[in-house]
């Protein structure tokens, strides 16, 4: 596999540097060493919450059993502060909300991506209390199964029923920035808070409540007001734009793909997932797909890419066009999700091109 990292454009001021960082995949000329991928299974997970289930091809599958888990570049060697996101149960709201800009910058090169509650993973390797996994719903050239990284083994669980039903049953997807998952159908006993785009298999629909299968094999309940049926998704530029605006003011987090913080490409990936469209996890790989669109032909939902060397170098940022010459994006560690003119300042100088993804 190839390790990935985010590039930070070297600008004349630190303020601009903090505003324009984004994730991209290391290419063959990046100077990073290339490490062969390890076989995906079987994996001994004795003594952890994860118990490998191996399909006929020899691949071990699991699922995230925390509201959000961070996939790290390496196991261990993290800050004491990160116990908030590493412990079981984790507290992603406190972890994300308590970080200042310097603490967020510390994550650069150490965090790879985030995976949501119930998100399926392939288990690639075990090292002590850590598992190296690939998030299968986050496409990447870094690993054939999905976006790779290390997670606490206690955050991954396997229940064969859940894995089967995730593929065979209809699903619902959280359509609000955050919603509560309940342990009773009366929706009075909150179990956990879950993020936008969390997807769970449907067991039963009861008036304004939907019963869902949980990763550990038990049952939970969601309000129908907070979810969309995955099978009924139709691509809507207006709906995607409206959902993007729900996150205005949310602080950027390096590697973020959840409602506790997005990086630039994590934001666009989840927005497209909300419309039933799969695009790659990283900005440069997103730019390799889709149809090139001229600025004069932009439609809401088209993605805008920005690159070093006056738009001729490595892609370092992605935003989404929302109409009237404006874009919405998650710019960098010192900033929050915001709306900017597409031709303002550095964005005019670094514009690489725009892409449209047709379902």
| Nearest C-alpha neighbor of 61 from the set 136, 128, 142, 172 | 136
Is residue 316 part of the annotated active site? The answer reads no
Helix (H, G, I), strand (E, B) or coil at 194: strand
Query: Dihedral angle at the C-alpha atoms of 131, 136, 138, 143, nearest 10 degrees?
Result: 70
- Catalytic-residue membership of 225: no
Q: Are 321 and 299 in contact (CB under 8 A)?
A: yes
* 8 Å CB contact between 149 and 164: no
d(CA 148, CA 130): 13
Residues 6+ positions from 29 with CB-CB distance below 8 Å: none
CA pair distance 321, 318, nearest whole angstrom: 10
Q: How far is the C-alpha of 19 from the C-alpha of 259, rounded, in Å?
A: 19
Cα-based torsion angle of the residue sequence 308, 311, 315, 318 in order, rounded to the nearest 10 degrees = 120
Q: How far apart are CA 73 and CA 22, in angstroms?
A: 16
Catalytic residue (one of 114, 155, 316, 317)? 317
224: left (phi over 0), alpha (psi -120 to 50) or beta: alpha
CA distance 208 to 95: 32
> Do 230 and 172 form a contact (C-beta atoms < 8 A)?
yes
- Residue 22 · residue 283 · CB < 8 Å: yes
For the chain, give the longest Cα–Cα distance. Answer: 58
The active-site residue, picked from 22, 114, 264, 316, is 264
CB atoms within 10 A of CB 331: 23
Structure tokens at 270: 């989840």
- Is 22 in the active site? no
Locus of tokens 């310097």: 102
Residues catalogued as catalytic: 264, 317, 329
């Amino acid at each position: 596999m190839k390790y990935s990292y985010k590039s930070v454009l070297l600008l004349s001021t630190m303020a601009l540097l903090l505003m324009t960082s984004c994730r991209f995949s290391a290419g063959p000329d990046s100077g990073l060493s290339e490490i062969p991928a390890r076989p995906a299974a079987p994996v001994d997970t004795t003594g952890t919450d994860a118990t490998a289930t191996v399909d006929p091809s020899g691949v071990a599958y699991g699922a995230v059993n925390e509201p959000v888990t961070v996939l790290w570049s390496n196991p261990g060697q993290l800050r004491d502060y990160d116990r908030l996101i590493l412990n079981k149960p984790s507290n992603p709201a406190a972890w994300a909300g308590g970080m200042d800009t310097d603490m967020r910058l510390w994550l650069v090169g150490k965090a790879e991506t985030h995976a949501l509650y119930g998100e399926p993973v392939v288990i690639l390797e075990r090292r002590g209390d850590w598992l190296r996994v690939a998030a299968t719903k986050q496409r990447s050239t870094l690993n054939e199964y999905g976006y790779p990284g290390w997670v606490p083994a206690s955050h991954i669980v396997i229940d064969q029923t859940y894995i089967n039903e995730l593929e065979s049953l209809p699903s619902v997807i959280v359509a609000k920035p955050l919603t509560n998952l309940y342990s009773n159908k009366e929706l009075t006993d909150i179990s956990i808070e879950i993020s936008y785009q969390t997807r769970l298999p449907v067991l039963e629909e009861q008036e304004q409540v939907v019963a869902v299968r949980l990763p550990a094999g038990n049952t939970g309940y969601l309000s129908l007001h907070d979810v969309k049926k995955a099978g009924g998704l139709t691509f809507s530029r207006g709906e995607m734009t409206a959902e993007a605006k729900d996150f205005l003011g949310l602080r950027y987090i390096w590697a973020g793909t959840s409602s506790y913080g997005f990086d630039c490409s994590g934001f666009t990936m989840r927005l497209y997932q909300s419309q039933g469209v799969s695009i790659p996890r990283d900005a440069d790989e997103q730019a390799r797909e889709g149809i090139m669109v001229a600025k004069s032909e932009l439609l809401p939902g088209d993605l805008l890419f920005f690159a070093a060397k006056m738009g001729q170098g490595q892609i370092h940022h992605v935003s989404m066009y929302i109409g009237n010459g404006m874009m919405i994006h998650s710019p960098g560690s010192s900033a929050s999700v915001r709306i900017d003119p597409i031709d303002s300042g550095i964005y005019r100088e670094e514009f690489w091109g725009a892409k449209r993804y047709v379902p």
